[in-house]
Amino acid sequence: MPSWQGKSKGTPLGYSIFVAIIKKLGVRPAYFLLAVVAGYYFLFSYKTSKPIYCFYRKRLNYGRIFSLYKLYRNYYRLGQTLIDKIAIMSGAGQQFTFNFDGEENLRNITALQRGGLLLSAHIGNWEIAGFLLKRLNTRINIVMFDGEHQKIKEYLASVTEKNTANLIVIKNDLSHIFEIAEALKNNELVCMHADRFVEGNKTITHNFLGDKANFPIGPFLLALKFRIPVAFVFAMKETTFHYHFSSTDAKEYDGDNMNIFIAQILDDFTKAMEEKVKAYPEQWFNYFDFWKQ
């Protein structure tokens, strides 16, 4: 089973240093410091480096040297997404631009007034995608693991703008299930990742990039239970200061057989994931053995 534990790396001091640089000097100097930090993880974080290196070697069939290069670039891109999130949400990201591909698909969902499910993955910059969804004239609910240390959360909350989205934190007592159900009953949008789970979660196996991988079954069960439109959304970094937000067509899945119903959604979702991973290989941010059974 994947060994991800629902926690992210970092310290309040580390975040505060980058925030100070962003606000006083700008984003580019923060990127300059990031080059050193990415090098540290590249050299010394074997536990996270191994699965990403294997991803480039075994799944994308890159050579050894090119895979090492992509490994460093992966850490660097991850750091950039965090810097970009802080810059944009703290009001210091005026130089960033965005284009929206498929925004009409999301507006079509909201026009139905039946609620909707937006699925994404740890590809690109989901935090920015969630921030940009405030363009839609409806309540947005983002379901997420509480992976940040409490002091980091408090610090980031103090330096960033309040997001208009409502955060639903996944909890052991399953209270988040009732919050999600309430949001959908109120015809709101629910956004969540469908590519990662923690030990003990129910999963379903599906082919992804040439081999079987486990996916959390929960997001797909929601679509089955509430019979709501489903779309897949991503926000990918294309250049230094430009992001591409995309959404697939909204689709309503039919059928009463649970296995067939879920398999249809999962097949579409993994195809969308594969398309993004192949187009943006440096922005795959799952630092564990995704294909381990």
- pLDDT digits over 55-84, tens only? 999 999 999 999 999 999 999 999 999 899
Distance CA 25, CA 12 (A): 20
Distance CA 112, CA 114 (A): 5
Q: List Cα–Cα distances, 150 to 7, 10, 153, 268, in angstroms.
A: 11, 12, 5, 36
Element (H, E) at 213: strand 211-216
User: What is the mean predicted confidence (pLDDT) over 186-204?
Assistant: 87
Say what the pLDDT of residue 14 is. Answer: 66
Could you give the angle at which helices 46-54 and 64-89 cross, rounded to 10 degrees? 110
Across the beta sheet with 242-247, what order do the strands follow? 97-101, 242-247, 230-239, 116-120, 189-193, 140-145, 166-170
- The DSSP symbol for 251 reads B
Cβ atoms of 196 and 167 closer than 8 Å? no
User: What is the mean predicted confidence (pLDDT) over 199-228?
Assistant: 90
Q: List Cα–Cα distances, 211 to 63, 184, 277, 290, in angstroms.
A: 19, 34, 15, 10
CA contacts within 13 A on the Cβ side of 85: 21
pLDDT (tens digit, 9 = 90+) per residue, 218-262? Answer: 899 989 888 999 999 999 999 999 999 999 999 999 888 888 999
Distance of CA 64 to the CA centre of its chain: 27
Say what the pLDDT of residue 87 is. Answer: 86
Whether this model's pTM surpasses 0.85: yes
Distance of CA 63 to the CA centre of its chain: 27
More confidently predicted of 149 and 25: 25
More confidently predicted of 276 and 94: 276
Please say if the pLDDT value at position 3 is more than 60.
Answer: no
User: What is the mean predicted confidence (pLDDT) over 16-41?
Assistant: 89
Say what the pLDDT of residue 1 is. Answer: 41
Distance CA 194, CA 126 (A): 12
Cβ atoms of 83 and 22 closer than 8 Å? yes
Say what the pLDDT of residue 22 is. Answer: 86
Phi (first) and psi of residue 10, to 5 degrees? 125, 160
